Amino acid sequence: MAEDSPASLRNVTIPSTDGVELDGHFGRALTADRRKTVAAVFLHGFPSGDVWSDKIGADLLELSDRVVNELRWNVLTIRFRGCGDSTGDFSLARWVDDAGTAIRFLQEETQADGLWVCGFGTGGAVGLVAARHNPQVTGVAVVGSPADFDDWAAAPDRLLAHAREVGVIRDPNFPNDIDRWNAELKEVRAVEAAEYLAPRTLLVLHGLEDEAVPHFDARLVADAHGSADLRMIQGGGHQLRHDPRATAILLGWLDRQATSLAET
């Protein structure tokens, strides 16, 4: 069941690939006091033993509401397939499809002059890959995101078992092509996408005490881009979404992006 959303956000259902329907929340800026229209897509991470697929991404509603009401941005947050009320089952390549679907939906809804993708963990990596192929994306922010998924690819059976345990794969017969499902884990590479994203802007935000994704991954992504804004949070863990220092950096970066756009 979908959680209650802030009053400024409305629930939307967005068709994605393979007949999947994504559960999302869309917020339109309450005033038109900006000379140019700005918009952001927020993407959650992969479910864990602490936060299963039914709850993952729910905390992004609060962040989205802040961005709508405090920064005056248009915002969309989705649940990837297999999460929340979205249909379908987890596939890394299809999560890239879902991120691309969200980007296109937001652009069609807002006709924004500038559109940014902000993702946490796995959501940041797949969002960066999706943004690489969409010239309408102005910039990307990745928070606690991996440079690649080679560790998953090294143990696909363990990943598949975990995905079933946390509920992001619900169909006992999925995937029907296990070799293709495994191959995707090596093909989705944020570090390569960062290189091709340039010269569009990139914020790389990571905790120095991240227990899930080594902070070295952040440096790899930033170096591949060439001019990324790299921010490392002293003592920060993997759940930077709940670290007020990380939130302040992200919101400040977005606000500066909008100011810079308005000056062009």
pLDDT in tens, 176-188: 999 999 999 999 9
Lowest mean pLDDT among 25-39, 118-132, 146-160, 229-243: 25-39
Predicted local distance difference test score (pLDDT) of residue 264: 84
Question: What's the CA gap between 194 and 113, in Å, rounded?
Answer: 22
Q: How many CB atoms lie within 10 A of CB 191?
A: 18
Q: Where are the domains of the chain?
A: 20-262
DSSP per-residue string spanning 83-145: STT--S---HHHHHHHHHHHHHHHHHHH--SEEEEEEETHHHHHHHHHHHT-TT--EEEEES-
Is the CB of residue 209 less than 8 Å from the CB of residue 236?
Answer: yes
pLDDT tens-digit readout, 221-258: 999 999 999 999 999 999 898 899 999 999 999 999 99
Question: What's the CA gap between 219 and 224, in Å, rounded?
Answer: 8
Predicted local distance difference test score (pLDDT) of residue 8: 85
For residues 98-115, give the mean pLDDT. 97
Question: What's the CA gap between 201 and 20, in Å, rounded?
Answer: 31
The CA-atom distances, in angstroms, between 147 and each of 171, 181, 187 are 29, 19, 12
Question: What's the CA gap between 206 and 254, in Å, rounded?
Answer: 16
Q: What is the largest CA-CA distance in the chain?
A: 53
Is the CB of residue 231 less than 8 Å from the CB of residue 252?
Answer: no
Predicted local distance difference test score (pLDDT) of residue 6: 82
For residues 84-101, give the mean pLDDT. 98
Task: Classify residue 18 by its DSSP letter.
Answer: G
230 beta partners:
204
Predicted local distance difference test score (pLDDT) of residue 239: 87
Q: Which of 258, 253, 245, 243 is nearest to 118 (CA)?
A: 253
Please report which confidence band the pLDDT of residue 1 belongs to, taking 50, 70 and 90 as the band edges.
very low
Is the CB of residue 12 less than 8 Å from the CB of residue 24?
Answer: yes
Tell me the two tokens of residue 213.
């994704």
Residue 258 parent element (H or E) = helix 244-262
DSSP per-residue string spanning 174-236: --S-HHHHHHHHHH--HHHHHHHHTTSEEEEEEETT-SSS-HHHHHHHHHHHSS-EEEEETT-
CATH level 3 topology of 20-262:
Rossmann fold (3.40.50)
The CA-atom distances, in angstroms, between 21 and each of 17, 83, 85, 86, 147 are 8, 11, 9, 6, 28
pLDDT > 80? residue 43: yes
Higher pLDDT among residues 145 and 1, named by residue: 145
pLDDT > 80? residue 34: no
Is the CB of residue 261 less than 8 Å from the CB of residue 36?
Answer: yes
